[in-house]
Structures are given as C-alpha cells and as structure tokens.
Homo-oligomer: A and B are copies of this chain.
Amino acid sequence: MNDVARSAGVSLKTVSRVVNGEPTVDPALVERVRAAVASLHYRPHLGASMLRRKDRRTGTIGLLLEDVGNPFSAAVHRAVEDEARARGVHVLTGSLDDDPERERDLARAFARRHADGLILAPVGPDQGYLALELPPGVPVVFVDRTATGFTGDSVLARNAAGASAAVRHLIAYGHRRIVFLGDLSRITTTRERRRGYLDSVGAAGLRAYTVEGLHDSVAAEAATRELFERARPPTALFTGQNLITIGAVRGLRALGRHHDVALVGFDDFPLADLLEPAVTVIAQDPAAMGRAAAQALFARIDGDTKEPREISVATTLIPRGSGEIPVRFTGSS
C-alpha cells in the first residue's frame, strides 16, 4: 500500500480511501491510485484492515454441521451461503461427526479466526464452553438441535408435531402395531420425534414399540428384518431419520414385504418418489432452516439484542404410497 501511494504520488491514507471507496476523494486522484493499484498488482490485506478497524468485523461466519457431505447438512449449508453471499460474508465450514470434542475444537478455532458469528448444529450434551471460547458478543445460532448452557436463537423443525402427524396418518389407515425406528436417543431431534410418536400412539390407545440406537442404514435394515421374525410383527413402520428410512426400505424389500407393510419416514430424500412404492415422508425444509438461521445470525451481528428466539420450521407430510398401505388382516391381530 505504501508502494501504491508512492507510485501514485499521494499519501497512504488516500490510497486507503480509494480502496475503501470513500467518496471524499478527488476523481483525478482516484484515477491515479487505481492505475497504480493495477500496475503494481496491489491486493488489499483484509486481515490487516480488520485489525485496525473499529467494528472489527471479519465478514466471516462459521458453520458447524453434522457432516457437510450429507444431504440435509449440504442443503442447510447452501442456504446459509446464499444469505451470506447477499451480505458479502464468507463461510467457514466444519463437520462434527457427532463428536463433541470436535464441536468445541472447531468453535474455538473459528473464534480465534474472529468469525463474526457461528451457526451450530450441536452434538455435545452441553454448549457451556462457548462462553469461554467465544469473545463476548459473538452470537451463536443453533440449528436443527437445541443447545444447553448457552443462550442463542435456535431454528428447529417441528419434530414432535411432524412425527405425531406421521403416526396419525398410519393410524388412519387402520394400523395398530406401528414401530418407531430411531437413532441415538441422546440427540434432541430424535427425542422429539420419538415424543411425537409416543403422543399419537398413546392418544390412540395403542402400545408403543420402539427400536433405537440405530446409527446407520445397515443397522436399520437389520433391525427391520428382525422385526418380522417376531410372533406379532408390525403392520407399519415410522422411521426417525433419512438413513433409517432407507435401511427400512431395503429391509422390507429383502423380505418382499414392501407392498404390504406401511412406511412413513421423517425427512425427505431425493428419489423417494421413484421407489416402488414411493415413500411417504414428513418433509423438513432444510433450506428454510438454513435461511432462517443465517437471517437470525446476521440480525444478531447487526446488534439485535432482543430475547433469544426459537424459530420453528414447519414440516409437511407428503403422501406418496408407502404410507397409504392399509392394514391387512394377518390372522394374528
């Protein structure tokens, strides 16, 4: 920048003004500076400018998701990026893989990099560490899961309501033995979905059957197959998550039962409509969640100090076939 100033025959400060587009500079000087910038290939150094600046914004936010490679996280990421782009903000990303230690490490790392704020899908049991790692005043918005020990806005799907609707849907088709297949129950989303299941099942006076701790598609497939080795197998399944839904589909296929066991899955997935039968789902809206989270974060960064909000994003039941298979009398009701 010094070189540019010398080459343009102006002071350092004038160069700074031109680079920052401040209006109070003589057009002729602007031209001279511009030319010098171009000929010297000058590139402003954001790190240095942010060091001295008053507002101390880096124009960077951190986004910590379960796994940037999975469709849900990827959709959230994309929506966040779009909001950020509109404000000239860039996004540092990280995958947590259900590892609380990694959650904390990355939060700390992004804090040291002076991210202006964080969007976090928490995996650990407690987010109290954020108060220590983050400089005071750096906002965090939680997405998809709730946080403990740290206050911030959160953006959540209406998990319990969606699950409840799924189960009522199955009940309406005559089902009375409906199994819930869920993943790790320490995750708040899973707990909410199970709660919705239990509510609806209880309200209808049915017995609850749950299988949990299913961590992937393979486990879900195995669990599904085992269900039908029992004396009184279910007539309908409600799966708490994407990978579990797919595992259940594979399991039912393998058993040749996909056309007579009903299935509703939580969370939509690509091609669900092309399977046979097409899979009925409770669709979340990950893009809406990402958008809402980013908007909330930017509002906080811009100084919004209202009470922390909990933003719920609606789910939609999309009937496609698998959830509309009526119960069949199997002789062992």
Contact = CB atoms under 8 A, between A and B. Distances in A.
Contact of A74 (B69, B91, B110, B269): B69
Interface stretch (A45-53, A148-156, A157-165, A224-232): A45-53
Interface string A35-47: 0000001011111
Contact of A46 (B70, B75, B112, B274): B112
Nearest to A111: B43
A253 B274 contact: yes
A45 B112 contact: yes
Copies of chain A in the complex: 2
Contacts of A60: 92, 113
A78 B71 contact: no
> What range describes how many residues of A lie at the interface?
35 or more
Contacts of A253: 274
Given A74-B69, A74-B70, A77-B68, A133 B95 contact: no
* Most interface-central of A77, A113, A133 (chain B CB within 10 A): A113
Nearest to A287: B69
A270 interface: yes
A91 to B, nearest CB: 6
Contacts of A43: 111-112, 133, 135
A110 B274 CA distance: 40
A98 to B, nearest CB: 14
A169 interface: no
Contacts of A92: 60, 90-93
A260 interface: no
A192 to B, nearest CB: 25
A110 B59 CA distance: 12
A267 interface: no
Contacts of A269: 270-271
A74 to B, nearest CB: 4
A94 B81 contact: yes
A16 interface: no
Contacts of A90: 92, 94, 109-110, 113
Interface string A69-93: 1110111011001000100001111
A50 B114 CA distance: 13
Interface string A89-125: 0111111000000000000011111100000000000
A255 to B, nearest CB: 14
A41 B112 CA distance: 12
Contacts of A46: 112-114
Contacts of A25: none
Interface centre among A46, A69, A77, A109 (most CB of B within 10 A): A69
21 contacts: A43-B133, A45-B112, A46-B113, A46-B114, A47-B114, A67-B78, A68-B74, A68-B81, A70-B74, A71-B270, A74-B74, A74-B77, A78-B95, A81-B94, A91-B92, A92-B93, A269-B270, A270-B271, A271-B274, A271-B275, A275-B275
5 shortest interchain CB distances as A-B pairs: A69-B78, A74-B74, A47-B47, A271-B271, A46-B112
